[in-house]
Chains A and B, each alone.
Chain A
Amino acid sequence: MTETSMRLDEIRRRTNPFNPSSISISLAALVLVLWCWHSTSMSIPALMEGWGNMYRYIAGNPEIRDSGFFPPTIAGPTVMKYLISMLETVQMAVLALILSVLIGFPLSLLASRNTLNIIIPGEQKYSRLLKNFLYTTVRFFANLCRSINEIIWALLFVSAVGLGPMPGILALAVHTSGVLIKLFSEGIETVEQGPIDALNATGAGSIKVISYAVLPQITPFFVSMTLYRFESDVRSATILGFTGAGGIGVYLFDKLRSYENHDVTTILIIIVITVAIIDRLSAIIRDRYS
């Protein structure tokens, strides 16, 4: 800790927001955006010209009778059928979420440096190796689960266990486990070390230290991330049906393909309302755990 005096002009130079390095970073960001824009053929004129086509699509294909999206179907039995199917979708998401928390939470303890140090104390070569091995393996597993999309997992599980909600549940559970391991472990690594030191100093075992010094600190974060993933699982589950993996997506895919777009609108309205309700409930639960 050597303390050298600092001249005012140096302080001004170092705090100038328009210094060469900030300007070059901004220019680099601009170049990146332009490059991506150009490579992906983004075009505002195309969107401007295309609006009309979107309107015609929503209004319906003139060659196919009754293929417009409006008005939505409101026939009781049909709506009921979709509501039940939506309920099944939510049930799929519930099970998937529980499975992914059961898999993701314990593994996230092994994917965080600080909890690994509680579980495997000591800095000897052997324990350092073991810690690095576990850390890398779990992180790799999480990346693998996460980077393969739910749809692909669903296709794989459909081939294993056949059509129906079950492959959908498994697909969501695997993918969400990967996401939760990442989210949870990042949360765990931000907890204060002080309480952990204090409980380590009482000679308590690692699980007790984690449950008293780590978990209470991250409960709000866990609750909030888990609820967010639930909402996200419900949204994904509405698409998984495309692969035959159950849920409302089966109808959605079917109706889209057969141009029964009035039904598609009904299904989309049901999905939007369901997600809105979940969002509301999540907010209430989150408030309780802040």
Chain B
Amino acid sequence: MGQISARNLTLGYGSKKVLHNLNLTIEQGEFLSIIGPSGVGKSTLLMAINATTSILDGEFQVLGQDLTSLKNHEIKALRAKIGVIFQGFNLVARMSVLNNIASGMLAKKNLIAALFKYYNHRQYEQVYEYMRVVGIEAEALSRCDHLSGGQKQRVAIARAIAQKPEIILADEPISSLDPVSARRVMETLKHANEKYGITVVSNLHQLNYAKEYCNRVIGINQGRIVYDGPAQELSPSIVDRIYHADRPKKEEAIDLVPSFTGQGLQMPA
């Protein structure tokens, strides 16, 4: 029984099924990415781990909790142990880097202290440590709307780490970043994964980064897992199977082009 385990799991929204019959086990400390064409349910799977997507059928356990029967306060407790990183960073633009990172610790913080944004010595030390882990301490007091995209995403990672999570979910963390910033963000995630033993599950469109940083890749197409194995074994034919298992509709095919021509797919020689 791993940290995350799914058996015959069907996920969706309302009555709409998005992913069917998933069987999956993720162990603590893995650095894993989910790949596949747009709109096949990568985010759905990711957000299910956070108890945001509806479970329509099957069994799903995360951190020892059965997600099919969670009450409101149990969901909050579970989410406190899971950090989330978003494609659009989701930072508060007008708030400082310090406050944004500290907002990750809110669940455990005293209410009055939270209202006044008061931090004790230990909390300052912790936030400072996380700033150094992601390399943003020089901008500690800057407002987040003054940062570059890559810096914002590193603040978001620090905010996730500040939660002291057991799992970090990263929903297309580098999709809106240039290649240099993207590499820095992936390295920061890897660092958090190694330093704190946090399991990282992310959605990626950039296969070269998946190969370089992840030790496991899950390929999804047509609402099913079509590949689950080591990143190194992603051969061109497997990639072809993930992205072309059944040729997607015309507009999605157009959507996919950038990830094959740009910084995306680079086949090994």
Query: Which of A121, A192, A208 has most B Cβ within 10 Å?
Result: A208
The chain B residue sitting closest to A211, CB to CB, is B115
Complex interface: chain A residues within 8 A of B141 (CB): none
Q: Scoring A residues 188 to 232 as 1 if CB is less than 8 Å from chain B, else 0, what string do you get?
A: 000010110111111111011101110011011000000000000
Contact A203 B77 (CB under 8 A): yes
Q: Mostly helix, strand, loop or mixed at chain A's interface?
A: helix
Give CA–CA (A194, B93) in the complex, Å: 11
Give CA–CA (A149, B92) in the complex, Å: 38
**8 A Cβ contacts from A24-80 to B:** none
Give CA–CA (A201, B78) in the complex, Å: 9
Contact B80 A213 (CB under 8 A): no
A3: interface (CB < 8 Å) = yes
The chain B residue sitting closest to A219, CB to CB, is B94
The chain A residue sitting closest to B14, CB to CB, is A123
A1: interface (CB < 8 Å) = yes
B264: interface (CB < 8 Å) = no
B106: interface (CB < 8 Å) = yes
Within the complex, which residue of A121, A195, A208 is in contact with B109, where a contact is CB–CB below 8 Å? Answer: A208
A122: interface (CB < 8 Å) = yes
Complex interface: chain B residues within 8 A of A203 (CB): 75-81, 107, 163
Contact B84 A204 (CB under 8 A): no
Contact A216 B76 (CB under 8 A): no
Within the complex, which residue of B72, B84, B117, B250 is in contact with A198, where a contact is CB–CB below 8 Å? Answer: B84
The chain B residue sitting closest to A204, CB to CB, is B106
CB of A257 to closest CB in B, whole Å: 50
Give CA–CA (A3, B251) in the complex, Å: 8
Q: Scoring B residues 118 to 140 as 1 if CB is less than 8 Å from chain A, else 0, what string do you get?
A: 00000000000000000000000
CB of A204 to closest CB in B, whole Å: 4
Contacts A198-B159, A202-B80, A212-B92 given; does A122 touch B72 at CB 8 Å: yes
Give CA–CA (A201, B107) in the complex, Å: 10
Give CA–CA (A199, B103) in the complex, Å: 7
CB of B80 to closest CB in A, whole Å: 3
Contact A213 B94 (CB under 8 A): no
Contact B163 A202 (CB under 8 A): yes
B61: interface (CB < 8 Å) = no
Contact A212 B79 (CB under 8 A): no
Contact A204 B107 (CB under 8 A): yes
B91: interface (CB < 8 Å) = yes
Give CA–CA (A208, B106) in the complex, Å: 7
Give CA–CA (A209, B107) in the complex, Å: 9
B5: interface (CB < 8 Å) = no
Give CA–CA (A207, B106) in the complex, Å: 10
Contacts A208-B114, A212-B95 given; does A202 touch B107 at CB 8 Å: yes
Give CA–CA (A194, B153) in the complex, Å: 13
Contact A194 B94 (CB under 8 A): no
Contact A212 B111 (CB under 8 A): no
Give CA–CA (A122, B72) in the complex, Å: 9
Complex interface: chain A residues within 8 A of B92 (CB): 195, 212-213, 216-217
Q: Which 3 pairs show the lowest CB-CB distances between chains A and B?
A: A203-B80, A194-B90, A204-B106
Give B residues with C-beta under 8 Å from A: 50, 52, 72, 75-84, 86, 88-95, 99, 103-104, 106-107, 109, 111, 114-115, 117, 156, 159, 163, 250-251
| 16 A-B pairs with C-beta separation under 8 A | A3-B251, A122-B72, A195-B90, A195-B92, A202-B83, A202-B159, A202-B163, A203-B81, A204-B80, A204-B109, A205-B106, A208-B107, A212-B92, A216-B92, A216-B95, A219-B94
